[in-house]
Structure 1
């Protein structure tokens, strides 16, 4: 009788562990510092998310005017053009063109020691699509760039 209880308990715990692992990831969480690099090159989120959170922590010390960072998410095909247009938009707009439909989500521009959050509506990222994240501060997008993988 004791072995049956232990076996049932073990099976129940394994079942719960499977549920925890199956929970969809709905957060893109990045850190960027004065070295002009994000801490990750690839992030994975679920297409099932109702909303995808963007979370950025600037681990450096330099102010936003010298070493500002943000997270911008676009279709990969649009990333270079959005970064270029962002430079033209200037600092007052956070180096992003106002109302640009190519920008699927973006945090505000922050400096050392600051953090920022934003969100992307559910359904904006489709499983199998090609998406990128990058920092739109002038000169940063070439180094501070990565891939967003959207899992079904």
Structure 2
């Protein structure tokens, strides 16, 4: 019995040394609801990623003209101005002003049961800077936002 346990322990140790190093996870899924909530309140993007892909899923049932959601990333200091300009841009522009240099990434607007992806270019993020992801549908930013940081 002791010999069997020793053999199992040695195999476990050998397996640990033989396992390849895990690559950084460069993607995430964030769900949004009819109750104006993101299921994720913060994200850390590994600095080793060149791009970071976020899949936004709307788990609710309401249409996008009533309870639409998107996923917008900016510096935290730019959130209110980007949101205000997005509301002026309107639904046809996904509530994001076209060509807005303050916007690091933005998804299209989706309704209940839909999903979309958005790619964040990690080269646009700087260590130590505060970033926020939020929904720019009118009135949603008050509840639908989270912090985003660049990790190591």
Give the structure-1-normalised TM-score: 0.89
CA–CA distance in structure 1, aligned partners of residues 19 and 136 of structure 2: 39
The Cα of 1:123 is off from its aligned counterpart by 1.2
Shift, 1:104, TM fit: 0.6
Of the three residues 16, 20, 25, the one matched with 1:14 is 16
Change (3 A) 1:28 1:129: farther
1:54-69 to 2 correspondence within 5 Å? 54-69=54-69
The question of whether the paired residues in 2 share the 8 Å contact of 1:25 and 1:44 is answered with no
Partner of 1:101: 101
Tell me by how many angstroms 1:113 deviates. 0.2
Q: Which runs of 5+ in 2 are unaligned?
A: none
Name the larger-Rg structure. 2
Counterpart mapping for 1:24-63 below 5 A:
24-63=24-63
CA distance in 2 between partners of 1:130 and 1:17 (Å): 35
Displacement after TM superposition at 1:126 (Å) = 2.5
Would you say how many aligned residue pairs link Structure 1 and Structure 2?
150
The answer to which of 88-97 and 118-127 deviates more is: 118-127
Mapped to 1, the partners of 2:143 and 2:17 lie a distance apart of 42
Compute the TM-score of the two structures, normalised by the length of structure 2: 0.89
Question: What secondary structure is seen at the aligned counterpart in 1 of 2:123?
Answer: coil
SS at structure 1 position matched to 2:37: coil
